[in-house]
Structure formats: structure tokens, C-alpha cells
Chains A and B, each alone.
Chain A
Amino acid sequence: EPEVTQTPSHQVTQMGQEVILRCVPISNHLYFYWYRQILGQKVEFLVSFYNNEISEKSEIFDDQFSVERPDGSNFTLKIRSTKLEDSAMYFCASSERSGPWEQFFGPGTRLTVL
């Protein structure tokens, strides 16, 4: 069964450093997303991406965040200058172009900012 994959599974970084989180969506999917979940809190939408551009972004997704699809398979989330409050689980998700917009999630990257 096809699945979304994410690397690394855990990233530890110092405050102010840049991090890049990587995702490989399901191959025939065209919509891509990033969500985050701070420990003990709910899953929050960050950004959606379609046709090589951002479709929608939340208030959380400020100028420190960017997304890119550098090739035909990878989808990345970059945080330019990490803050302590960026510590969270980051989930990538993808969905098919059509259908009831069911989104399938990757296993997540746990980001710890020290």
C-alpha cells in the first residue's frame, strides 16, 4: 500500500538554526500539506501546496517558513531561524486531485529546538 514517508524521524537543532524537513508524498497525489502538532495539543494546518505553488497558509506559516517541491517526488518544509516554540511534530500529508479530499499522513518528524 502506498504511503507518505518523512525524513528525518527526529531532528534536534539549536535555536536560530535552519532546518529542512523532507517528505515523499504518495506518487499519484497532487495536493500536499504540512501540519504540526505541539506535544499535548491538536493538529494544526500550516500550508497547502498544489501545482507548484502555495494554495493556502495559516497564521502560523509566517516568513520563517517556506515550502518547496524541488523535484518530482520530494516536498520540503524549511524553517529559516528556529525558535523554541517551533518544537513540535511536523506531519506531511497528501491527497488525490479529485475525491472527498481524504488526506493521508506521513509518520512525522519530531523537531526539538534547544
Chain B
Amino acid sequence: RKEVEQDPGPFNVPEGATVAFNCTYSNSASQSFFWYRQDCRKEPKLLMSVYSSGNEDGRFTAQLNRASQYISLLIRDSKLSDSATYLCVVGLSSGSARQLTFGSGTQLTVLP
């Protein structure tokens, strides 16, 4: 079983659509959760951290369900600039280490 699993997509949606990304992780000891976005041939950029209480940042809403080891990202009113690959990322701490495990990413294309 993959450590962090995402639907690979691609998701092609029209501007203004709402799109949801799902992710599951296998290590129940995971302690921190993030969504990053990655544009083609660029570095991953932190989109938002994900908390058990859920969190929202403008058009973006992230949810975490520790019991089912499930993370989600909702993008409302999608813009052309949202086109990117969205990476589900899980953090595990071992002593002083802070290892991130990445999913393979879900590719999103927002169409005009």
C-alpha cells in the first residue's frame, strides 16, 4: 500500500467550478498534514497546513479525518491560475527529524 495515495487525475474543470481532491495515508503515527501545489518543473509551494478542525483560506478548504486517515482539499470558484499539480503531503517526526512524504499529486487544469 502506498504511504500517501491520491487520485492522479487529471481533473479538467471549467472556470468557476468547485473541485475536490482526496488523499489517504497509511502511517497512523503521522503528525502533520499539508497541501502543496507544484507547477510544471517548479518547486512544491506550500498551499496550506491541514488541521483536524478543518481550515479555510479564501477559496480553499482543507479537512483531516485522523480516524479514517483521510485528507481533502476543496477549491471553490476555480481560476485559470489554479491549474497545477496538487500534492498531498504527510509529516512524521522521529526525534529531531521532520520527514515529509509526498503523494504522487493530482493534476488540475482549469479551462476558460
Contacts and interface: CB of A to CB of B under 8 A. Distances in A.
B21 interface: no
A45 B49 contact: no
Contact of A42 (B45, B46, B93, B104): B104
Contacts of A75: none
A44 B44 CA distance: 12
A39 to B, nearest CB: 9
Interface string A64-99: 000000000000000000000000010100010000
A107 B96 contact: no
A42 to B, nearest CB: 4
A31 B42 contact: no
A105 B98 contact: no
Contact of A105 (B32, B44, B49, B97): B44
A101 B104 contact: no
B43 A101 contact: no
| Most chain A CB neighbours (cut-off 10 Å) among B87, B95, B100 | B100
B48 to A, nearest CB: 10
Given A42-B105, A56-B94, A108 B43 contact: yes
Interface in B13-52: 31-32, 34, 38, 41-46, 49
Given A33-B98, A104-B46, 19 more contacts: A31-B98, A35-B100, A43-B38, A44-B102, A45-B99, A48-B97, A48-B98, A51-B96, A55-B98, A56-B99, A89-B41, A91-B44, A95-B98, A101-B31, A102-B46, A103-B98, A105-B43, A105-B44, A107-B42
Interface of B: 31-32, 34, 38, 41-46, 49, 87, 91, 93-105
Interface of A: 31, 33, 35, 41-45, 48, 50-51, 55-56, 58, 89, 91, 95, 100-108
